[in-house]
Structure 1
């Protein structure tokens, strides 16, 4: 599933069509009565793993989910097109994803302080939210998009390793200082993720994600489904303490 940094890169790709007029629209998720042809793409916003395409009369929310993808300028020869917007000099095409029509009230309800890559991100609000769920595992908290919008499984694993925290540690067993450390490592790695993604070197930076041995002590990396979501965690039992 694309994580926050990847969505920011997608926005940069799409930005070339901002201010352009739609000449053709197609896809299985286009409302029948929607008047999109002739509309101008006014703005593109992202929040966590979601992208908003904002027109005067309609707003599309796009979530790539696990297997979604997009192409620019030319439509792929596949039958999973959910939304296609053609402009004078190319187009935007989304496949195998979730596309919904929302209104301005949905945008106004977005808590930008929850987006790990937003300038409005709030450490204190994240800590406050986590501490309201003392029995929650930290691996679940980090994948909770109401707390860490934009964080996915790669960022979760790499940030917890950097912080030296076992993914199955309960929130109630983490001091405020430890929570701050987790947030710092999550933010830092998210922006590193973006930098490495630009140069197509991200996988070369992984320390534990799909790795076999710990880069610190050489112990075998444990691979295990953790938390309520049963997402895969990769961690070192020696260097990542299970706080009790």
Structure 2
């Protein structure tokens, strides 16, 4: 998913490459859809309806004046017209068919969402939503919400706390994802910020104090900046995750609850019932690797000891003692507030001090943290209780590395879509062998239709949360077949 940090980086790259260039031509799926709408309008014109022009043609002949981002939205200004782009779940872009953004993904579809031919370069968007809006409307929206943007250098934590506390009946998991409250927060940031704050995702605003909300805003901002730096430097964000797509808590090793909750009941929420209790005092007594210390390691220079670090009063970023200006908003230190020294961090040549399983990571050169040992994906989860031990006996090991494979699901649009398979789990990905084996060849068949069963996971909270089971693959007219799936994690 492209969250606020990813969108911010994309905007910076596009602005650096294409600012002040003039549009020569536009094409792509978004333009084609507008053409089809125009044809429908021409048919409707006979009945007196006005003819609708193709809005993307307004960009031709105009110069790119400015590029702004707001949360997950990208605004490109061309005079009175603005191209608004949303990167959806897996959006990306390329310039002259070259990947400029490290977070852009390697595989792109055959057709583009939108292709803009500039005077010197060609900008192509993939898997995105694009539309033309008035520039005045977009600038007004950016001006109104920019200090709530979780990645903005002018982020205002006090206003964010006020906005979050307005609707007392909403749950935290819903408020955090509301793009009118905290633009840029996505599911990864939501889950990790709630964990770092020690707050339950289904707690309502009215059940919490202003201190709770202030802590949550701080942790949300800090993890977002870690997210931003990882995406910018091309490093692995998973080393800083404690609950998202995890089977065990990265701090206390308790079983992570994976469930669906909230207003739309569609977004998956991960939380640790042992660490997230809404008890700030208890949370403060734990060995919490606060995102301050992690952020300091990501942001700071090589010889930062952690002594006399200071926090920017504008954007809440923790900066190293030897920095004169904030790393994000560039505000001078003399206008900022000093904070107590943070826990001492090791030199970059060593592994950063992380709690839980992260402390076991291998040392690498130049201060970079190596990948963790082969990890379980969201497809392989532990059973729900201590009495129900995980049985992975049906998961093979690859012949090259002798490590247990991971089970994944195909999502490509072909005859195998939805099928499960085993593949090598070696880390990094470049060292993986070509091991492949269909997993569903060993699945049972449902009694009602005789079809290969679907493998699903219990998402409801309770003793069986996370357990795998077999059921009928048909969504409609499904039979009542049910069977637990021991051996598949």
When normalised by structure 1's length, the TM-score is 0.92
SS in 2 for 1:114: coil
Give the strand-richer structure, 1 or 2. Answer: 1
Equivalent position of 1:228 in the other structure: 263
Q: Contact 2:109/2:126 (CA < 8 Å) preserved in 1?
A: no
Q: In 2, distance between residues paired with 1:130 and 1:170?
A: 11
| Larger relative helix fraction | 1
SS in 1 for 2:130: strand
The 1:91–1:226 alpha-carbon spacing in structure 2 relative to 1, beyond 3 Å, is: same
- The aligned residue for residue 20 of structure 1 is 21
Query: Structure 1 residue 4: deviation in Å?
Result: 0.5
Give the RMSD, CA atoms, in angstroms: 1.9
1:240 aligns with 2:272: no
SS of 2:30's equivalent?
coil
SS in 2 for 1:14: helix
State the shift of 1:77 in Å: 6.3
1:83 equivalent to 2:114? Answer yes
Partner of 1:97: 128
In the alignment, which residue of structure 2 is the partner of 1:194? 228
Which one has more relative contact order, counting CA pairs under 8 Å at least 6 apart? Answer: 1
- TM-score, normalised to structure 2, is 0.47
Task: Map 1:119-198 onto structure 2 (within 5 A).
Answer: 119-198=153-232
| 3-state SS of 2:5 partner | helix
Moved over 4 A (4+): none
Asked whether the 8 Å contact 1:114–1:126 carries over to 2, the reply is yes
Which moved further from structure 2: 193-202 or 152-161? 193-202
Deviations 1:170-223 (A, max 9, x none): 111111011000000000010010111122311232111101111221111111
Q: Deviations over 1:63-120 (max 9, x none)?
A: 11123322221296622x2321122443211123211111133121332122111133
Aligned partner (choices 58, 72, 79) of residue 56 of structure 1:
79
1:203 partner SS:
helix
Describe the SS at the equivalent of 2:260: strand
Q: Indicate conservation of the 8 Å contact 1:74/1:90, yes or no.
A: no
Which of 1 and 2 has greater Rg? 2
Contact 1:71 1:94 in 2 (8 A): yes
Number of residue pairs matched by the alignment: 242
1:209 is the counterpart of 2:244 = yes
Question: For residue 4 of structure 1, what is the aligned residue in structure 2?
Answer: 4
Q: 1:22 to 1:234 in 2, by over 3 A?
A: same
